[in-house]
A and B are shown apart, each in its own frame.
Chain A
Amino acid sequence: MKFLTALLLTALLSFVGGLYAPWWSLALMSFLVAVLVAQRPGKAFLAGFLALFLLWGCVALWLDVRNKGLLSARIGELLGLGSSSILLILVTALIGGLVAGFAALTGSYLRSPKRTTSFR
């Protein structure tokens, strides 16, 4: 449940951030969510990664479909990725995901306690 909350919250806040702030605001958002919603580092990374992978991937896919792949083919060739839009969408999603994942990981380390065992 926490995982899903973190994922959705990260995607939502990053989307809003993208409307008003520079693209890298997604790192701040992912970091913030990971601080607020405590999870183990691995899970936090995955939640951040998936949130942005899906957000960027879906937005790009939506824009690409409405554009019938005209621009993605041209940009794909320009960047040496060929004229297939799927590859460019995947690269886009991956870059968003990586930044968000590492930002979330950072947030979770800030939050998570030192690995100590305590007895009561």
Chain B
Amino acid sequence: MRIIPFAISFIITIGLVIALNMKWGPAPPFGKFLSPQQGFWQNAEPIDKDFSAELSFPELKGRANVYFDERLVPHLFSDNDNDAYFIQGYLHAKFRLWQMEFQTMATAGRISEIIGDRAIDYDREQRRMGLVFAAENMVKGIEANQQTREAVGAYTAGVNAWIDNLTESDLPVEYKLLDYKPERWSNLKTALFVKQLTKTLAGYGYGNDFQYTSLMSVFTDDEIKMLFPYASDSLSPIIPKGTLYETPSSFALKPAGADSVYLKKVDSLTILQTDKPNDGIGSNNWAVSGSKTKSGAPILCNDPHLDLNFPSIWYELQMHTPSFNAYGVSFPGIPGVVIGFNDSIAFGFTNGGIDIMDFYKIRFKDDSKKQYWFEGQWKDTKIKVEEVKVRGGATVLDTVAYTHFGPVMYDKSFTNVSSGGEAVAIRWKAHDESNELLMWWHLDRAKSYEDYAAAIKYLECPVQNIVFASKKGDIALWQQGKVPLRWERQGAYLMPGEDDSYSWQGYIPQEQNPHTFNPERGFVSSANQRGADSSYPYYVPGDFSVYRGIRINDQLNTLQQITPEDMMKLQNDNYNTKAAMFRSALLKYTDQSKLNEQEKKLLGIFTSWNLVNNVGEKGPTIFDAWMDSLMKEVWSDEFARVKDPLYPHQSTLIEWLGRDSAFRYADNINTPGIETNTDVVTNSFKAAAPALLKLDADGKLYWGHANSLTIYHLLRTGAMPFARQGISNGGGSEIVNATRKTFGPSWRMIVQLTEKTEAYGVYPGGQSGNPGSWFYDTFVDTWAEGKYYSLWVMTDKEATDPKVKWTIKFNHR
């Protein structure tokens, strides 16, 4: 043996193996990752992959067949419900495991375990907000009910049946890139998924309590009420104006000192919130009755707008058992069909936008956070020590005190720029025990309006507008959720946490939630606008849209002899209602004598624009830039004095300028003169013009360029080759076709409830979550063109239909 060369070459070999088995910063471990037998090459799915298989599991009670059609949509036929949920879990895991786990890890504040110390602040915020606490309470609700206990139990077992049989080479490519392995699934993870959704749909951004509190340092409560009006003048509410409401059966009592103490107190406390939801999150849904359709059968439509991602948040499927036959989209992470239809009814959702999160200032006895002052005495907190594990670093311990309101999210140990260490507890409906999954369990099986109305009562939060139509010919829409009873302005600002009279005093009785059943106008609709106008007898704060609802109601009022094709056109409608309502005021206040030739040309394009946000138009780009500029021109002087300012809605500005020729905020408080409407409108146009003219010179003024859409992978900029960029299909925020930058209609569905259901759908993604699969982004182009797939409701006699491409047979072992 030759010792020295042996030793050298031995060390080189070992060194190479170690170096290639190790993660280098964001780069994967190269040996492991590039190994063709185990690494990413194994995720390169053959273009002609055969998905057929025969599988058996001890958990299965009977037999089941899953037929995949040419779009890889599974049609699941099972002889019992338990097996159907088991197989749904198995399929979700088989095609979407990484996203399911990553999203629930994010909810639980465990991203640092995967990517290291960059995520510590994010993880702490998730935990301090009490998302795990909320999910744990939901698990109690799920497990207290036999139906959901069994459904979720079977679903979890199905996910684990896939995970337990995973080999290194089967791991989704994201695990290989980031070099970690999946855990087993649990009912808690299913609940965590629901809570993340709740955070998106009913989290901080629907109340903005801290920012309103911050505004109090400059404005009075009355001014704030003007700047952020309760209901917009142009509101076309879900429940038509003029509807008479019952007398409220309960009401909240306003604390005696609230006017002088709470609503007039100047408070400099401001806390910067980092996690504001996208202003485009919203949705449309509507149903038209048979009296307005060509077929005589109702048509139901839904397009929920969300941040669009790869892999898609939706997974399409049909589930057929002796007790139900549902088709639609599901969330990988929870059992059942979430938006869809069965043999008797169809249902869909939009966000209610109602604020169910309030904040209370807490006075701790001392830094131990073990006691706080409430109703004249010291009350004990519950202390939870959060362990944030950090990849490649030391575990971070974080002590969170829980009050009877909920967790103290902010305190000395978790502050933002200007919180000054003040302790603030969060009261969030999502923390309470509930069982929303039971709603879907019943909806998937519902046969009538009564079944639907009973099912939706299980939805406590987030508040949703749930549209309904049935083959019997009924249509309905309920704004459903458990909404706190509040006295006027309660919870607009941070509240004193020492005084029980500021606590929530109960909930709006469920039967008085805004709803409509077979209305005379022949349609029901919602588009995130306020559910009822100000004649509704309860105070309901929140964040609401205005213009999509106006357009949809206008169109549905006019249309007759409606066909599914008409509904496709409406879902893809690009008409800019906001511009239509505001253009004349803008032009009225533009002093053309102050414009140069170039600017006049630009104004000419805007003036002659057809008010449609199509890709080939220049008008929408000019309007958008002008509005941004005008918002700055009007508000930046007053709001410069506010830390972390919350600007009023554009609709507020538009309505104010439109009706008030001496609009007080037009004046720039930093100049000696008094600016008028004409000054701000003209100046804002001139300010926006140079950038617009530059775009025009480069041939980029078209809306298709300005409104180019990116669908990111969930790893965002860390995985750009897994994203799709440069998609354009018109639309915009506050347009029915609400496509903007990174968000848009995440699933477009149209269901005509004729005897044989006629349904259409499309989502911007693909059935496989694997970037190495040809089914990864299959539907994106169809979606971008505004086209649909015809949804095949398969029957058990069609197993030999040529549309069936692959079959997986499931058996009891």
Contact = CB atoms under 8 A, between A and B. Distances in A.
Given A95-B30, A99-B13, A102-B13, A74 B6 contact: no
B771 A56 contact: no
A109 interface: yes
A70 B774 contact: yes
Nearest to A69: B44
Interface residues of B, number: 42
Given A27-B17, A98-B16, A115-B2, A92 B36 contact: yes
B12 A75 contact: no
A78 B26 CA distance: 11
Contact of A63 (B1, B42, B771): B42
A68 to B, nearest CB: 5
Contacts of A75: 40, 173, 721
Best-surrounded residue of B20, B35, B772 (most CB of chain A within 10 A): B35
Interface in A1-53: 15, 18-19, 22-24, 27, 31, 41
Contact of B35 (A74, A91, A96, A113): A96
B256 interface: no
Interface in B708-754: 719-722
B44 A114 contact: no
B20 A71 contact: no
Contact of A110 (B1, B31, B721): B1
A91 B721 contact: no
A102 B12 contact: yes
Contacts of A73: 721
A98 B12 CA distance: 10
B5 A109 contact: yes
A115 B5 CA distance: 12
A84 interface: no
B247 interface: no
Contacts of A66: 44, 46-48
A86 interface: no
A99 B17 contact: yes
A87 interface: no
B44 A67 contact: yes
A71 B2 contact: no
B300 to A, nearest CB: 37
Contacts of A15: 37
B35 A56 contact: yes
B772 A67 contact: yes
Interface string B1-19: 1100110011011001100
B721 A77 contact: yes
A74 B34 contact: no
B110 interface: no
A95 B34 contact: yes
Given A92-B41, A98-B16, A109-B1, A67 B36 contact: no
B771 A74 contact: yes
A23 B44 contact: no
Interface in B757-781: 771-774
Nearest to B5: A109
Given A66-B46, A102-B16, A95 B31 contact: yes
A106 B10 contact: yes
Contact of A23 (B39, B43, B46, B173): B39
Contact of B37 (A19, A102, A110): A19
Interface in A52-110: 56, 59-60, 63-64, 66-68, 70-75, 77-79, 91-92, 95-96, 98-99, 102-103, 105-106, 109-110
Interface residues on A, range: 35 or more
A70 B2 contact: no
A27 B47 CA distance: 32
A113 B40 CA distance: 41
Nearest to B46: A66
Contacts, number: 123
Interface in B490-524: none
Contacts of B16: 98-99, 102
B254 to A, nearest CB: 58
Nearest to B49: A66
B21 interface: yes
Contact of B38 (A23, A78, A110, A111): A23
Given A71-B772, A75-B721, A77-B721, A59 B37 contact: yes
Most buried by B among A22, A68, A75, A109: A75
A77 B46 CA distance: 20
A84 to B, nearest CB: 13
Interface string B153-175: 00000000000000010000100
B532 to A, nearest CB: 49
Contacts of B9: 102, 105-106, 109
A90 to B, nearest CB: 11
B721 A74 contact: yes
B32 A23 contact: yes
B38 A18 contact: yes
Contact of A27 (B5, B13, B38): B13
Contacts of B40: 71, 75
Contacts of B773: 70
A99 B36 contact: no
A23 B31 contact: yes
B45 interface: yes
B13 A59 contact: no
A19 to B, nearest CB: 7
A42 B752 CA distance: 75
Contacts of B46: 63, 66-67
A23 B35 contact: yes
A63 to B, nearest CB: 5
Residue of A23, A41, A102 with most chain B CB atoms under a 10 A cut-off: A23
A67 B721 contact: no
B644 to A, nearest CB: 36
A96 B36 CA distance: 9
A67 B31 CA distance: 21
A41 B4 CA distance: 13
B6 A110 contact: yes
B587 to A, nearest CB: 47
B165 to A, nearest CB: 15
A112 B2 CA distance: 7
A56 B20 CA distance: 15
| Residue among A74, A96, A115 with the highest chain B CB neighbour number at 10 A | A74
A101 to B, nearest CB: 9
Contacts of A68: 47, 774
Contact of B44 (A18, A56, A71, A95): A71
A23 B774 contact: no
Contacts of A56: 34-36
Contacts of A110: 1, 6
18 contacts: A18-B38, A24-B17, A24-B21, A31-B13, A60-B36, A60-B41, A66-B47, A70-B44, A71-B43, A72-B41, A74-B772, A77-B720, A77-B721, A78-B720, A92-B41, A102-B13, A103-B13, A115-B2
The 3 closest A-B pairs by CB, nearest first: A71-B772, A18-B37, A67-B44
Given A68-B47, A102-B16, 11 more contacts: A19-B37, A63-B46, A71-B40, A75-B40, A78-B719, A78-B720, A95-B34, A103-B13, A105-B9, A109-B6, A109-B10
Interface of B: 1-2, 5-6, 9-10, 12-13, 16-17, 20-21, 27, 30-32, 34-48, 168, 173, 177, 719-722, 771-774
